Amino acid sequence: MSPYPSKDEIAELATHLSTSDPSPFYDRVSPNVVWDVLGTHPAAGHFTSFESWKKSALGVANKFLKEPLRFKVVNAFGGGEQDWCCLELEAIDAVAKNGIPYPQQYCWLLRFDEHGIIVQVRAYVDSVLVNKIADANP
């Protein structure tokens, strides 16, 4: 048996990010996760807890949108024998408060511990798009 969740298990887990209740995914994130959102935009930063990521990075994005972000899984790579995996995600029907579409795409690199808990994330987004939405929705 593999020490880490398989690619298929990770993809299945991430499908919960597309629903109004993403808690099955977020329940697998360590409270002390190290979550880096890379780029040069208001949601970027180095976060050392799940709560700080939700409040800061996710909170910044959701502040500009009509509804909270939901994510569609495009692809998953890794897992199984590897502690790291890659999730390719895209925003689902995201629209800014001023009506501008927010077709954001994401790459989340996730590292799992031996208990299947996400302990590290490196998230890549389109900084230009984040800044465009932030500037247009003060």
Decide if 95 is inside a domain. Answer: yes
* 3 state DSSP class of 82: coil
Q: What domain range is 25 assigned to?
A: 7-130
Query: pLDDT by residue (tens digit) across 24-55?
Result: 999 999 999 999 999 999 999 999 999 999 99
Decide if 138 is inside a domain. Answer: no
Query: pLDDT by residue (tens digit) across 65-120?
Result: 999 999 999 999 999 999 999 999 999 999 999 999 999 999 999 999 999 999 99
Enumerate residues 6+ apart whose C-beta is below 8 A from 128. Answer: none
Residue 76's φ and ψ, nearest 5 degrees, are -135, 140
**Distance in angstroms (rounded) separating the CA atoms of residues 10 and 5:** 6
- Give me the pLDDT at residue 3, please: 85
In DSSP terms, 105 is beta-bridged to 90
Token pair for 86: 């890659």
- Name the pTM for this structure: 0.94
Decide if 99 is inside a domain. Answer: yes
Read off the CATH number of the domain in which 88 is found.
Answer: 3.10.450.50
Q: Structurally, how many domains does the chain consist of?
A: 1
Among candidate residues 76, 128, 124, the one with its CA nearest the CA of residue 102: 128
The identity of residue 126, as a single letter, is D
* 3 state DSSP class of 120: strand
